[in-house]
Amino acid sequence: MLVLFIAAIGKQKKDTCKDYKIEIKGVRSANFFLDEAAIVKLLKGSLKGNIKGQQKSNFDLQEMESVLHKNVWIKEAQLYFDNQAVLHVTVEEREPVARVFTTEGKSFYIDREDKVMPLSDKVFVKVPVFTGFPDKKITKADSTLIHHINQTAQYISANSFWSSQIAQADIVGDCGANCWEFEMVPVVGNHVIRFGNGENIQDKFNRLFAFYQQVLSRSSMDKYKTIDVRYAGQVIGGKSNNPKVDSVLLRKNVEKLLQQANEMVRMDTIQNNLKTTYHE
């Protein structure tokens, strides 16, 4: 038995990689930021040679996974050999949740884990846009800002009303040292939404939605220049002295958005009821 065991180990060391299979996973079912060729290039660089035909003893799978993890677009990577000496490589891409523009016009993505990622020549991702990010080395305070951008962007994307209504969010820093706030520009309306920072996001959007539903859908849309939801339990509307838009058309557009949002809520309620009935 000992001889057979030693012989098996010796055979395994001499075995060569017969083939490889690469699988890319991500939120998108197609149009990935990475392709198989890019991953093969990284693996060949780690092996310092071709993948197929190389002895399995040359494969340090843990080190190869580490090499893949260094790629900014790769969130997770797993490698293993099957009993046919085929190398399996599974890579999970990062998911951009927001696109950020700096004060000097540079641009980058951030993902759900606050990872900063460059733009891609291959794929364009439609995500909430934030402008006015400080163009300097990212500090601890900036990391907090990135996290708040991340959380705010995810909330907007997950809500059909706000993803249709919010065109972009400007980052303004006129509230003091190391202080910043969001000012959101709507698609429908001639006002600016003073949102504050990325805390209490749901409460702020709920109050803003109530203001749209109870005030803007019933009054002149050019009545307010600013809508301020920074303070808990309040919505402050600042009147505009220079109307620039057709208030009737804007009111109809807001009503349409509200109807769409209410329809989405109704459909979600029906689906949840069906799921509950099914489980019961």
**What is the tens place of the pLDDT at every residue in 51-65?**
999 999 999 999 999
As a dihedral over the C-alpha atoms of residue 155, residue 158, residue 164, residue 167, rounded to 10 degrees, the angle is 40
Query: How many other C-beta atoms can be found within 10 angstroms of the C-beta atom of residue 98?
Result: 24
pLDDT (tens digit, 9 = 90+) per residue, 197-250? 999 999 999 999 998 888 777 766 567 889 999 999 889 888 865 444 444 444
Q: Phi-psi category of 176—alpha, beta or left, where left has phi over 0 and alpha has psi -120 to 50?
A: left
Residues 184 and 261 occupy one common structural domain: yes
Dist CA 256 CA 11 (whole Å): 70
137 three-class SS = coil
The answer on 102 and 43 residing in a single domain is: no
Determine the structural domain holding residue 88 and report its residue range: 11-93
Q: Give the pLDDT confidence score for residue 37 in this predicted structure.
A: 92
Q: What is the pLDDT of residue 44?
A: 94
Cβ neighbours of residue 92 closer than 8 Å, sequence gap 6 or more: 24, 25, 26, 74, 75, 76, 77
Q: Which of 149, 239, 240 is nearest to 199 (CA)?
A: 149
Where does a domain end: 93, 111, 144?
Answer: 93
Same domain for 84 and 209, yes or no, is no
Residues 6 or more apart in contact with residue 255 via CB below 8 angstroms: 217
Total domains in the chain come to: 2
The angle at the Cα of 254, spanning 185 to 180, to the nearest 5 degrees, equals 20
Q: Please give the helix or strand (H or E) that residue 176 lies within, else none.
A: none
Distances in Å between the Cα of 70 and the Cα atoms of 66, 77, 143 are 7, 10, 20
pLDDT in tens, 99-155: 999 999 999 999 999 999 999 887 888 899 999 998 877 777 788 999 999 999 999
Listed in sequence order, the DSSP H helices in the chain are: 2-14, 36-47, 61-69, 140-158, 160-165, 201-211, 247-279
Q: 6 in a domain, yes or no?
A: no
Of the three residues 93, 111, 145, the one that is the final residue of a domain is: 93
Q: For residue 20, give the CATH number of its domain.
A: 3.10.20.310
Residue with tokens 């071709």: 50
Last residue of a domain, one of 60, 93, 126: 93
Average pLDDT over residues 35-59: 92
Residue 89 has pLDDT above 80, yes or no: yes
Examine the domain organization and report whether 230 and 114 are in the same domain.
yes
pLDDT tens sequence across 150-184: 999 999 999 999 999 999 999 998 776 678 999 99
Kindly report the pTM of this predicted structure.
0.77
How does residue 277 score in pLDDT terms, banded at 50, 70 and 90? very low
The mean predicted confidence, pLDDT, of the chain is 82
Quote the pLDDT of residue 275: 47
Residues 88 and 72 in one domain: yes
Same domain? For 108 and 245 the reply is yes
pLDDT per residue as tens digits for the range 235-273? 988 886 544 444 444 455 556 666 666 666 565 555 555
Are 37 and 171 part of one and the same domain? no
Cα gap 98→148, rounded to integer Å: 11
Q: What is the 3-state secondary structure (H, E, C) of 213-262?
A: HHHHCCCCHHHEEEEECCCCCCCEEEECCCCCCCHHHHHHHHHHHHHHHH
Amino acid 258: pLDDT: 61
Minimal CA–CA distance to 149: which of 100, 209, 87, 204?
A: 100
Backbone angles phi, psi at 113, to 5 degrees: -105, 20
pLDDT score for 274: 45
189 confidence band (pLDDT: 50, 70, 90): confident
12 falls in which pLDDT band (50, 70, 90)? low
